Amino acid sequence: MSTAKILDETDFDTELATGKPVMVDFYADWCAPCQVLAPSVEKIAELYDGRASVGKLNVDASGPVAARFGIQGIPTVLFFKDGKLVDRVVGLVPETELTRRLDSLIE
């Protein structure tokens, strides 16, 4: 069973360099909408194991990474392909919206 990888400043860029599409949930422990989204992120990590990388980055613990991507509201989910930012979703969205966007990067 795969779970979302907890990312920080030291391993964020390494994760982007894996060659797989990457989905990263930018969150904070105190953020209620982030807590609602968390089970969906974990489920997506399990469903896409081997096809995509799914990670979580705590904006309080890794502020420089959040600043680098202009994260102003959370939850924000960023999608990367070939190490480059290609899509973003801000706010609480249905799991199907996240999987739709991730599918578009895999196909």
Domains of the chain: 5-106 (3.40.30.10)
**What's the pLDDT band for 88 if we cut at 50, 70, 90?**
very high
**Does the active-site annotation cover 41?**
no
Task: Say whether pLDDT at 74 is over 60.
Answer: yes
Exactly one of 4, 23, 24, 34 is catalytic; name it. 34
Across residues 49-59, what is the average pLDDT? 96
Task: Say whether pLDDT at 92 is over 60.
Answer: yes
Q: What pLDDT, on the 0 to 100 scale, is given for residue 96?
A: 97
Across residues 70-77, what is the average pLDDT? 96
Task: Say whether pLDDT at 27 is over 90.
Answer: yes
Residues 6+ away with beta carbon under 8 Å from 78? 23, 24, 26, 69, 85, 87, 88
Q: Could you give the 3-state DSSP secondary structure of residue 25?
A: strand
pTM of the model: 0.95
Distance CA 48, CA 104 (A): 13
User: Whole-number mean pLDDT of the chain?
Assistant: 95
Exactly one of 4, 16, 23, 31 is catalytic; name it. 31
Q: What pLDDT, on the 0 to 100 scale, is given for residue 1?
A: 57
Q: What pLDDT, on the 0 to 100 scale, is given for residue 18?
A: 86
**Does the active-site annotation cover 45?**
no
Task: Say whether pLDDT at 36 is over 70.
Answer: yes
